Structure formats: structure tokens, C-alpha cells
């Protein structure tokens, strides 16, 4: 019998290393695929494999990693080495200087190969296996909360991310409970099944939860934060602690301090267009009179007829008062984000004013999915959130959402995208469009929001406890490979 022994130190505790090994999944199906029988037993932090049959050595040494590495990245073809009586053991133990040590021992008969070649091959593959384990231990464990349009985009990004490991999915819908996360977002199965149980999420001990539901549950957020789980969210209620609801802020801050965790809100709008880009543009200025951010969205391209006519208020007779609930929501989200920019630039804000306007259609406009906007009914909305100093605007976000450009107002409605106008001693006029990527438009737009959150996970996990803003984090750069 030949024997190969390997050992590697990792900068994580033994329990974390063992959980990572265990989460590589049941490997019996791999054994079946290569035509052998497999006995697997666990005792404490030790796992023992006994392979009955003669599979290739490469497949056996990569057995435990097959679900997450070999099937996704494909191992280059290697010569087949028949084995007999393969027995392998993995031991994990704490070390006196912190971290853990993983020991691997395997024995086998070389079969047709010489002992020298068999040992060289086995040692090389053993090193590769331990490297793979190290890569997994360095990954941050992530749970996705919600799998709607934005949540599904986030799921796809996490699954493909080289430094993140999807370990859980929380779903609101009873129909999604027990469904595979990969299948729910249009990818191959991952083995991660959706749950509706908060305590099951906490039991996974993730480093971070990507929190993207339709509303928010303060109790659930505080429970996760108290458990030491960091949260990155796309919810607009959490962008700036100074301007948050006071009671909510105090609860969240207390939970963060109790668990040593952080919460960070980001996205594309608010987020990228109201924080990251304005702050970058301001770096060429020494006097700033006003920054105006116009957002343009042709609503029928990404919304159903039902959403347009029954929820968003298009196609209705105009009223004297703009929807107060929509105004309050927009004011809360964008006041916080614009306030972060004013804090960074040292521009005092005395008040934030939100206002809404509607424009009616001049002629009948047919909607792509059926239905129509009739003449004289609402065809466009403009919502402005303005941060003011005295009687002038210093920061202004303006949403221009429309179903037709044939309206009774003199609004310059551009194609989907943004225009950022900087007024001051270094004036700038920046236009950003959304070229089509080949994806469904709703999926593409959701990706803009989701990806910014996914890219922030590692920075938030390393941040000091508390509610973070863009000013508290280092520059977030995406890790793409």
C-alpha cells in the first residue's frame, strides 16, 4: 500500500473549516458517476472515505470539492490512474497560535503505475485539493434575502463571484420554499435551498446577508445584526443614519454594537447616481453652486400594463394633489442619499423639499403589452427632491418617468438614463445611457442595483460596527476574476 500525507494551516477556526468541508455536500453522487461505491463516516472533526472500486485518483482526491469546484470550473484532462482499496481521512484541529490545521491522509495501491509515478501524481493532486480548500475558506459566506428581479440578479452575481460563497436563500413566497437558489435565478442547481425561517438563516453563520425585500422587517434585521451578521441592503431607508427615522436608527445601531456587525445601504438610484458619481465629479471643483441629477425612464419598457395603469397611476385623470405616499417614499430615500453628499462636500442643508408634477397625453398611446394611455390622462410624472440652503437648491434629484413624450408639458424627456449637471467653477454636463446588453430589460436594470450591493460585501464585512455610508468605506472595486 502507498500512502500520501498532507497538512495545511488556515487562518480560520477549526469549526469554520469543518463546516466548509461539510458544506461541500454529499459526494455519493460523484462516486456513482465514476462507477464506484463510497463509504463515508464522520467522527468529531474527522471524515473518512473508503472507495470500493477502481476510479481515477484525480476524481477521488477532488471528490469533496466536486460540487463547488470541479464541476463548475472543469479540471483539465489528466491521465487515468486506476486505484485499489483507496482510503482517505481528513482531520481538522485548532492550533495553539490561532487558526486551524487540516491534515489529509490517504492510502491506495498504484495498480498499473510505478510507485514513483503514483506517489508524484497523488502528492500533486493533494496539494491542489488543499489549495481549493484554502480558496473556499477565504470566501465570504453569503445569504441572499429575497429573489425578485433584484434578488435574482444578486443571486447570479454571488454564485459566479470568485470571493463569495452562497450558503443560503431566504424567500418570502411559500411557493419558493425548498426550491434551489440556482434554479430560481435561471442557473444550474447549487444545492442551496430557499427557506422562510429566519433562525435557519442565522444558524448558517453567514458573514453577510444581501437584504433586498419589497419592504423591511426591523425585527429580522436586528436579530441578524445582533447575531454578528453583516447586512448589505438596497432599501432606501438605511442610506444615512443621521437622516434615518430616529427610533429605527437607534434600534439598528444598538444591534450592530451588540453583534459587532455593520449595515450598509447602496444601489444604483439612490446610490451610484446620487452618491458615487456626484462625489467623483466634485473632485474637479472648488466652488459648487448646484448639482442636478435627472433620471429618465420609459416606463412601458420594464413594467407590465397592470403595474402601469393600476399601481403607478398612469392613464388616470390628473388630480390637483400628487400622490402623497409616493412623495414621502421618494423624499425619505433620496434625502438620505443627497445628505451624504452634502456631508462629504461640507455643504450645509437647511431643508429638503419634495414635489411632484404630472403631464397628460396629447394623443392615444398604445402600451406594448396591451392597453393604452388615453388623451387627457396622466402620461408622465416628474418627482423632484431638492436639498436647499436658504431659498436655493444646492443638490437636486429629479425623476422623469413617462409612458409617452407626446405630453402637454415642455419637459425635455430623454432616452432611458441619467443626466448630471454640475454648476460651479468647474461646470460639467454628463449623460449616461443604458445600451442594451441582450438581457431582458428588467433583468438588466435590476443588475445595476444588485451588483453594486454584491460588490460592497467584502468592504462591509471589514468595516467597523454600525450603520455605514459610502463615506465610511474604502473605494469599492468589483472583483471580477
CATH number at residue 213: 3.40.50.720
- Is residue 32 scored above 50 in pLDDT? no
Average pLDDT on 375-399 reads: 96
State the CB neighbour count (10 A cutoff) for residue 272. Answer: 20
Residues 144, 128: one domain? no
pLDDT tens digits for 179-198? 999 999 999 999 999 999 99
140-145 and 208-211 beta bridge pairing: parallel
pLDDT confidence band for 241 (50 / 70 / 90): very high
- Angle at the Cα of 430 from the Cα atoms of 426 and 432, rounded to 5 degrees: 160
**What is the rounded CA–CA span in Å between residue 465 and residue 468?**
8
- Can you spell out the DSSP letters for 168-230? EEE-S-GGGTT-BHHHHTTS---S-BEE--HHHHHHT--SEEEE--SS--HHHHHHHHHTT-E
Q: Pick the range with the lowest mean pLDDT from 91-95, 147-151, 226-230, 414-418.
A: 91-95
Same domain, 289 and 431: yes
Domain count, the chain: 3
Q: Determine the average pLDDT of the residues in 144-162.
A: 95
Lowest mean pLDDT among 73-77, 94-98, 224-228, 341-345: 73-77
Tell me which of 123, 138, 153 is where a domain ends. 138
Is 477 contained in some domain?
Answer: no
The CATH number linked to 81 is 3.30.530.20
Higher pLDDT, 95 or 337: 337
Q: Is 60 in the same domain as 18?
A: yes
Q: Cα(204)–Cα(257) distance, rounded to whole angstroms?
A: 21
Q: How many helices (H) and strands (E) does the chain have?
A: 15, 20
**Residue 9 CB contacts under 8 Å (≥ 6 apart), including other chains:** 95, 99, 100, 101
Which one is predicted more confidently, 41 or 24? 41
Give residue 1's pLDDT: 73
For residues 254 and 279, membership in a common domain is answered with no
**Which segment of 74-83, 170-179, 245-254, 300-309 scores lowest on mean pLDDT?**
74-83
Q: Among 121, 138, 155, which residue terminates a domain? A: 138
Residue 226: predicted pLDDT: 97
- Regarding whether 106 and 58 lie in a shared domain, the answer is yes
In contact, 184 and 155? CB cutoff 8 Å: yes
Same domain, 144 and 112: no
**Does 451 reside within a domain?**
no
Residues 201, 293 within the same domain: no
If one compares 413 and 116, the residue with the highest pLDDT of the two is 413
Q: Where are the alpha helices (DSSP H) in 11-99?
A: 14-22, 28-33, 57-61, 71-73
Residue 450 falls inside a structural domain: no
pLDDT of residue 31: 41
Type and span of the H or E element at 298: strand 288-298
What are the percentages of helix, strand and coil residues in the chain, rounded to 5? 35, 30, 35
Check residue 465 and give its pLDDT. Answer: 94
User: What is the band of 131 on the pLDDT scale with cuts at 50, 70, 90?
Assistant: confident
Residue 377 lies in a domain: yes
Look at residue 215 and tell me whether its pLDDT is greater than 80.
yes
- Alpha-helix runs per DSSP H in 204-323: 218-226, 246-259, 277-281, 305-306
Q: Between 427 and 440, where is the model more confident?
A: 427
Task: Please state the pTM of the whole predicted model.
Answer: 0.77
Residues 211 and 352 in one domain: no
Written as nine digits, the cell of 404 is: 409617452
pLDDT on residue 119? 79
| 159 occurs within a structural domain | yes
Task: Give me the mean pLDDT over the 246-275 stretch.
Answer: 96
- 319 and 237: one domain? no
Query: 431 and 292: one domain?
Result: yes
Task: Read off the pLDDT of each residue in 211-223 and give the average, rounded to a whole number.
Answer: 95
Q: 304 lies in a domain? A: yes
> From residue 300, how far is each of 46, 291, 337, 372 by CA, in Å?
58, 29, 27, 10
Q: Which three cell numbers stand for residue 185?
A: 435565478
C-alpha count within 13 angstroms, C-beta hemisphere, residue 189: 7
Question: Which of 262, 210, 258, 266 has its CA nearest to residue 237?
Answer: 266
Mean pLDDT (whole number) for 394-399: 97
Please report whether residue 445 resides in a domain. Answer: no
On the question of pLDDT at 456 being above 90, the answer is: yes
- Give me the sheet containing 140-145, strands edge to edge: 194-195, 164-170, 140-145, 208-211, 230-233, 262-265, 466-468
| pLDDT, tens digit (0-9, with 9 covering 90-100), for 103-126 | 777 777 776 778 887 777 777 767
Q: Is the pLDDT of residue 128 over 70?
A: no
Same domain, 419 and 294: yes
Phi, psi (deg, nearest 5) at residue 438? 95, -15
Q: What's the chain's average pLDDT? A: 84
- Residue 400: strand pairing partners: 296, 382
pLDDT for the residue numbered 40: 57
| Choice among 295-299, 317-321, 323-327, 477-481 with the minimum mean pLDDT | 477-481
Segment 244-255 shows an average pLDDT of 96
**Average pLDDT, integer, range 333-341:** 94
> What percent of the chain has a predicted confidence (pLDDT) above 70?
83
Residue 474, number of CB atoms within 10 A of its CB: 9
- 29-37 LR contacts (CB < 8 Å, sep 24+): 30/59, 30/63, 30/66, 31/55, 31/63, 34/59
Which of 106, 138, 170 terminates a domain? The answer is 138
Domain that holds residue 234: 140-266+456-468
Claim to verify: residue 205 and residue 260 sit in the same structural domain: yes
User: Residue 444 domain-assigned?
Assistant: no
Contact status, residue 361 vs residue 407, Cβ threshold 8 Å: yes
More confident residue, 233 or 129: 233
Give yes or no for residue 279 having a pLDDT over 80. Answer: yes
Quick one: average pLDDT of 169-186?
95
Assess whether pLDDT exceeds 90 at residue 431: yes
Whether residue 340 has pLDDT greater than 60: yes
Amino acid at each position: 500500500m502507498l500512502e500520501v500525507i498532507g497538512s495545511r494551516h488556515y487562518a480560520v477556526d477549526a469549526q469554520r473549516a469543518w463546516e466548509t468541508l461539510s458544506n461541500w455536500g454529499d459526494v455519493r453522487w460523484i462516486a456513482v458517476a465514476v462507477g464506484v461505491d463510497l463509504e463515508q463516516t464522520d467522527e468529531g472533526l474527522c471524515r473518512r472515505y473508503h472507495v470500493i472500486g477502481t476510479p481515477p485518483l484525480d476524481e477521488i482526491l477532488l471528490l469533496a470539492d466536486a460540487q463547488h469546484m470541479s464541476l463548475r470550473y472543469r479540471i483539465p484532462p489528466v491521465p487515468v490512474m486506476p486505484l485499489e482499496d483507496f482510503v482517505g481521512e481528513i482531520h481538522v484541529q485548532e492550533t495553539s497560535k490561532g487558526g486551524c490545521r487540516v491534515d489529509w491522509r490517504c492510502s491506495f495501491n498504484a495498480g498499473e503505475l510505478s510507485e514513483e509515478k503514483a506517489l508524484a501524481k497523488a502528492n500533486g493532486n493533494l496539494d491542489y485539493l488543499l489549495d481549493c480548500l484554502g480558496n473556499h475558506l477565504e470566501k465570504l459566506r453569503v445569504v441572499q434575502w429575497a429573489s425578485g428581479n433584484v434578488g435574482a440578479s444578486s443571486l447570479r452575481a454571488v454564485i459566479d463571484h470568485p470571493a463569495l460563497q452562497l450558503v443560503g436563500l431566504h424567500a418570502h413566497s411559500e411557493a419558493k420554499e425548498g426550491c434551489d437558489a440556482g434554479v430560481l435565478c435561471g442557473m444550474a442547481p447549487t444545492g442551496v435551498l430557499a427557506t422562510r425561517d429566519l433562525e435557519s438563516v442565522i444558524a448558517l453563520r453567514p458573514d453577510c446577508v444581501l437584504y433586498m425585500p419589497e419592504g423591511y422587517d426591523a425585527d429580522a434585521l436586528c436579530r441578524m445584526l445582533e447575531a454578528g451578521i453583516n447586512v448589505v441592503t438596497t432599501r432606501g431607508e438605511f442610506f444615512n443614519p443621521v437622516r434615518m427615522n430616529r427610533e429605527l436608527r437607534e434600534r439598528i445601531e444598538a444591534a450592530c454594537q451588540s453583534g459587532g456587525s455593520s449595515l450598509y445601504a447602496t444601489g444604483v438610484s439612490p446610490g451610484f447616481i446620487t452618491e458615487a458619481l456626484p462625489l467623483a465629479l466634485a473632485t474637479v471643483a472648488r466652488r459648487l453652486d448646484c448639482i442636478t441629477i435627472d433620471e429618465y425612464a420609459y416606463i412601458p419598457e420594464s413594467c407590465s400594463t397592470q403595474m402601469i395603469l393600476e399601481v403607478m397611476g398612469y392613464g388616470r385623470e390628473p388630480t390637483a394633489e400628487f400622490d402623497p405616499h409616493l412623495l414621502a417614499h421618494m423624499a425619505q430615500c433620496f434625502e438620505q442619499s443627497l445628505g451624504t453628499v452634502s456631508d462629504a462636500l461640507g455643504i450645509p442643508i437647511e431643508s429638503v423639499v419634495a414635489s411632484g408634477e404630472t403631464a397628460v397625453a396629447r394623443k392615444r398611446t398604445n402600451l406594448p403589452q396591451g392597453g393604452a394611455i388615453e388623451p387627457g390622462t396622466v402620461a408622465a410624472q416628474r418627482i423632484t427632491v431638492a436639498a436647499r440652503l436658504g431659498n436655493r437648491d444646492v443638490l437636486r434629484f429629479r425623476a422623469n418617468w413617462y409612458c409617452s413624450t407626446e405630453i402637454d408639458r415642455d419637459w425635455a424627456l430623454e432616452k432611458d438614463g441619467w443626466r448630471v449637471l454640475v454648476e460651479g467653477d468647474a461646470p460639467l454636463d454628463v449623460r449616461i445611457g443604458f445600451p442594451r446588453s441582450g438581457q431582458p430589460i428588467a433583468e438588466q436594470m435590476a443588475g445595476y442595483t444588485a451588483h453594486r450591493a454584491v460588490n460592497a460585501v467584502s468592504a462591509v464585512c471589514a468595516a467597523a460596527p454600525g450603520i455605514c455610508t459610502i463615506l465610511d468605506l474604502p473605494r469599492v472595486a468589483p472583483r471580477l476574476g
